[in-house]
């Protein structure tokens, strides 16, 4: 879509990296810095030493008690809550059939990837049940609404981006994604308008002939914060989109160089729960499918114990200080 929209999906190059999970509660919940005692230089050091002879040289000064993370999290304003926590570590995203390793040339990798797909689907569903029915008793699973919500947010995000609607972007997107899109809007040449339209959703086997398919649904509790957690759903959306630019003074219905393109996107939508209150679904960004190279990571590598995987997850989440 000219200079304002890159080739492929509008956000294909956005939000592919993950922000450390620890940033969710370490940076925003860190309390004010503790003031250190004022150090003054005496006029006469010799007289000071003689006057304090016989007294202990090192005097420990007790530090004021700091509020716990639980207290600080409960007292935060909802408008100040962090939204960008990155893609949950260990999220397995099954690639398209054509992108999977060949069963003839890479049989070991193909079988390992198929096993990870089955295992992750089972583990994710069990953890989602525990999150909704045990950790947060009575929380609905919201299985039916996932695809409808994703399609609605997908269309609203692209429409708002093309129209330069910053208010809508901040409503449907997480803070980091909204800031990036607004920066791209501000960088457009003066007088340039962008057009975008959704021609149709492509109902292929990759989406079970629906145009959208859930490939991952994970939920986890936020450490040290009661009644708080995050749920992330990754969906594969196949669609035909039309995008272009509109010259100044021209109707937005007629776009110059408007081109149609078939797109396959992996949209990540996210819902935060903070001290017992659930937020709205928002678009976190795009994700990329798991590759053969990713199989060497601690989250997917073979021969590792659960303790080893948990230790690797703590390191990636900033657990080691």
Q: Kindly report, residue by residue over 6-52, the tens digit of the pLDDT.
A: 445 655 545 554 444 444 444 444 444 444 444 444 434 444 445 44
What range does the domain containing 311 cover?
85-316
| Within-domain flag for 244 | yes
215: pLDDT strictly greater than 50: yes
| Within-domain flag for 269 | yes
**Percent residues over pLDDT 90 in the chain:** 55
List helix spans (H) across the chain.
45-51, 69-75, 107-130, 145-163, 166-172, 175-186, 306-316
187: pLDDT strictly greater than 90: yes
Nearest to 129 by CA among 118, 119, 143, 141: 141
Range in 142-146, 182-186, 242-246, 280-284 with the lowest mean pLDDT: 242-246
For 245-302, how does the pLDDT look when each residue is reduced to its tens digit (9 = 90+)?
876 666 555 555 678 999 999 999 999 999 889 999 999 999 999 999 999 988 898 8
More confident of the two residues 208 and 44: 208
Average pLDDT (71-77) is 58
More confident of the two residues 165 and 11: 165
| Within-domain flag for 304 | yes
Q: Which of helix, strand or coil describes residue 190?
A: coil
Integer CA distances (angstroms), 192 to 94, 147, 178, 183, 184, in order: 38, 33, 20, 15, 12
Which residues have a Cβ under 8 Å from the Cβ of 235 and sit 6 or more positions away?
Answer: 146, 147, 150, 212, 213, 214, 215, 266, 267, 268, 269
| Within-domain flag for 116 | yes
| Within-domain flag for 235 | yes
| Within-domain flag for 63 | no
More confident of the two residues 76 and 272: 272
Going through 210-303 in order, the beta strands assigned E by DSSP cover 212-221, 229-246, 256-274, 277-278, 282-286
Which residues have a Cβ under 8 Å from the Cβ of 14 and sit 6 or more positions away?
Answer: 177, 180, 181, 285, 286
Q: pLDDT band for 73, please (50, 70, 90 cuts).
A: low
Return the pLDDT at 104: 96
Return the pLDDT at 138: 86
More confident of the two residues 259 and 166: 166
Most confidently modeled of 190-199, 220-229, 233-242? 233-242
Phi and psi at residue 267, to the nearest 5°: -90, 135
Average pLDDT (143-157) is 97
pLDDT averaged over every residue in the chain: 80
Query: What number of other Cβ atoms are within 10 A of residue 232's Cβ?
Result: 21
More confident of the two residues 235 and 86: 235
93: pLDDT strictly greater than 60: yes
- For position 203, which CATH number holds? 3.10.450.240
Nearest to 176 by CA among 3, 306, 15: 15
| Within-domain flag for 232 | yes
85: pLDDT strictly greater than 50: yes
Query: What number of other Cβ atoms are within 10 A of residue 183's Cβ?
Result: 9
Number of domains forming the structure of the chain: 1
Return the pLDDT at 313: 67
| Within-domain flag for 11 | no
């Amino acid at each position: 879509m000219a200079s304002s929209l890159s080739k492929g999906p509008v956000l294909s190059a956005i939000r592919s990296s993950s922000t450390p999970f620890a940033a969710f509660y370490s940076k925003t919940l860190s309390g004010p810095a503790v003031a250190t005692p004022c150090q003054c230089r005496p006029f006469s050091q010799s007289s000071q030493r003689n006057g304090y002879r016989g007294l202990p040289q090192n005097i420990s000064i007790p530090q004021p008690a700091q509020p716990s993370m639980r207290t600080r999290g409960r007292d935060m304003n909802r408008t100040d809550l962090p939204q960008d926590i990155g893609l949950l570590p260990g999220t397995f995203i099954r690639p398209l059939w054509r992108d999977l390793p060949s069963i003839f040339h890479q049989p070991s990798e193909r079988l390992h990837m198929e096993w990870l797909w089955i295992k992750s689907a089972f583990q994710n569903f069990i953890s989602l049940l525990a999150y909704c029915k045990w950790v947060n008793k009575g929380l609905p699973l919201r299985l039916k609404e996932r695809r409808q919500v994703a399609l609605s947010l997908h269309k609203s995000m692209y429409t708002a981006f093309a129209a330069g609607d910053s208010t809508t972007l901040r409503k449907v997107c997480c803070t980091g994604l909204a800031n990036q899109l607004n920066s791209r809007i501000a960088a457009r040449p003066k007088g340039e308008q962008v057009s975008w339209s959704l021609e149709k959703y492509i109902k292929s086997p990759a989406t079970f002939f629906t145009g959208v398919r859930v490939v991952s649904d994970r939920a986890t509790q936020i450490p040290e914060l009661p009644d708080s957690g995050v749920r992330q759903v990754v969906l594969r959306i196949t669609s035909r989109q039309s995008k272009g630019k509109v010259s100044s003074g021209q109707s937005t219905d007629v776009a110059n160089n408007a081109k149609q393109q078939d797109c396959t996107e992996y949209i990540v939508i996210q819902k935060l729960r903070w001290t017992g209150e659930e937020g709205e679904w928002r678009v976190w960004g795009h994700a990329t499918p798991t590759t053969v190279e990713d199989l060497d990571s601690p989250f997917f590598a073979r021969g590792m114990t659960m303790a080893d995987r948990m230790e690797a997850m703590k390191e990636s989440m900033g657990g080691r200080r």
